[in-house]
Amino acid sequence: MKYTKIIMFRNAVETLEFFSRQLAESFEKAGARIMWVDIEKGAEKGSGAKKIKKFFSLGKTALVTFNFIGLSHELQFERGENYSIFQELSIDMYNILVDHPLYYYKPLLTAPPDMRVFCIDRQHLKFLRRYYPHIRHTYFMPLAGNPPAGTADVGAEEAGGSVAGVGLNAVDITPIKNRDIDICFPANYVTPDNINERMAGADPEYREFFQSVMDDLISNTYKTLDETFEDAIFAQFPEATILETLEAMRGMLFIDLYVRSYFREKAVAALLDAGIPVTLVGKDWEHIKTKHPELIRGTGCEVDSATCTEYMGRSKLTLNLLPWFKDGAHDRIFSALRCGSVPVTDYSPFLLDNLTPGREALCFSIAHIDELPEIVNDVLKDTDRLEEIARCGRKKVEMHHTWENRAQTIMEMME
């Protein structure tokens, strides 16, 4: 690998630090030294620059981050307006966006042209290339599965690599029949009231406009977020420029949260209403509308990434709803399989390219969530079938969808 020194960040977002630490393990195995920069410390302008300069070696230092952490004009790295210590030292930047690029509308506008930006959804990448053509190096790289609780990130080779037991030598996986949870869902819930508050101050015509966009997404679940936003904007303002369109779309991002929560509630309520207990690993689920709130199990609060994998390791099934990723995957799917749990998920073209429904995962359509209880009830009656799906899916993920795999992708670009 060309780079012997890599700068990474901690104490920003727990999930992203969890991902970063797994990438760092692979970088260190390849011989790189890691400098961890604490985002919570050093609020004074330029305070982080001295440490970075001391660590820096010309042509040998790179930065790997998520969601513009460290690259969002934090004072400790600033050297001038829209100019950081990383640009001053010509440090190569590798930036992984785990959300739609719209969430980084302004940072992307001022991003250095030579920054390498990764999208976790192929539709996100198309959007990025269309609206931010000045960024020359853009790539698709999906999310990866987190390892079972209490283990390091172990890929297929270290885990044994056999067809029947890939990954099983690295950690004890509880057999499906011995698991005490039928189905878990590691996710938070946002109430409609919380989201509606964001529209409350808008003029009536804007509230009507926003509601029409929400209705469009709910009725046409195949449409991407940006496609739906563009349709609505251009219908009202056909002459809108790129910058005007981006600004308008950014102001509509709460709709993304709305439709995610709408379908999360619909899926969970369908299971509960059918008499299926669901273990909800996250906060605010007590607010959902269901006939059987007494069947809600879970934490009642937001938990960290390691705790999520602990629950997956106890669950026969792990529910997933893609956060409107129409051509990508969520780490919940791959993490569930690494923990020996079978994901029950809506699907995308990328997922269908990588996991075979019925063999390596169970799939449903969010347009037909009413079918979800039957899928879950039927498969819970056949633990042998579930064990086989878990085994086949885990083998696939350990070979192709670990953070070690993603680190290898990045390191190949670093050559």
User: What is the CATH superfamily name and number for domain 146-401?
Assistant: Glycogen Phosphorylase B; (3.40.50.2000)
Measure the CA–CA gap between 47 and 404, rounded to whole angstroms. Answer: 32
Residue spans of the domains in the chain: they are 5-141, 146-401
Q: Strand 83-84 to strand 78-80: parallel, antiparallel, or no bridges (unpaired)?
A: antiparallel
Measure the CA–CA gap between 1 and 413, rounded to whole angstroms. Answer: 9
Q: Are 132 and 104 in contact (CB under 8 A)?
A: no
User: Of 90, 92, 98, 91, which Cα lies nearest the Cα of 68?
Assistant: 98
Domain 5-141 and domain 146-401 have a common topology:
yes
Helix, strand or coil, per DSSP, at residue 304: coil
Kindly state the average pLDDT of the residues 185-195. Answer: 90
Burial code of 64-101, b = ≥16 C-beta within 10 A, e = fewer?
bbbbbbbbeebebbbeeeeebbbbebebbbbbbbbbbb
Q: Strand 92-97 to strand 83-84: parallel, antiparallel, or no bridges (unpaired)?
A: unpaired
In Å, what is the CA distance from 195 to each residue of 101, 198, 217?
Answer: 21, 6, 16
pLDDT in tens, 323-381: 999 999 999 999 999 999 999 999 999 999 999 999 999 999 999 999 999 999 999 99
pTM of the model: 0.93
Give the pLDDT of residue 183: 98
Say yes or no: domain 5-141 is CATH 3.40.50.620: no
The burial of 30, by beta-carbon neighbours within 10 Å (0-12 exposed, 13-18 middle, 19 or more buried), is given as middle
pLDDT in tens, 33-56: 999 999 987 666 656 788 899 999
Which residue in this structure is represented by tokens 């959804």? 121
Kindly state the average pLDDT of the residues 70-82. Answer: 84
| Angle between the N-to-C axes of helices 192-200 and 254-273, in degrees from 0 to 180, rounded to the nearest 10 | 150
Which tokens is 173 given?
A: 């996986």
